[in-house]
Amino acid sequence: MTLSTEYVLVFVLAASGARGRLTSGHVEVAEEGDLRVYDPNRRLNSYVSGRRLRSWQVFYRGQPLANWGRVAVEDAEPLARDEQFF
């Protein structure tokens, strides 16, 4: 899936709990369920991919996309409020 201002990835890093959002690049769900994040040139961004993410959700126009997220319990409320998340 290609990210844009309409398709937005919101995430929480596992190690630090830092939150972020991406609006460019490409994402795909690997067979094991981990998210792979690529930059606009299709190079893997290992800093925000795989097990480095505690939670992630792709939103389309502010609404979470079904089957495009894996959210830890402690992150559920902030991720549900995407715009207030930041």
How far apart (Å, rounded) are the C-alpha atoms in residues 2 and 81?
22
So what's the pLDDT on residue 52? Answer: 96
10-33 confidence digits (pLDDT tens):
999 999 999 999 999 999 999 888
Largest distance between two CA atoms of the chain: 33
The side-by-side arrangement of strands in the sheet containing 63-70 is: 19-22, 7-13, 53-60, 63-70
- Report the share of the chain in percent with pLDDT over 70: 92
So what's the pLDDT on residue 82? Answer: 55
Q: Is the pLDDT of residue 86 over 50?
A: no
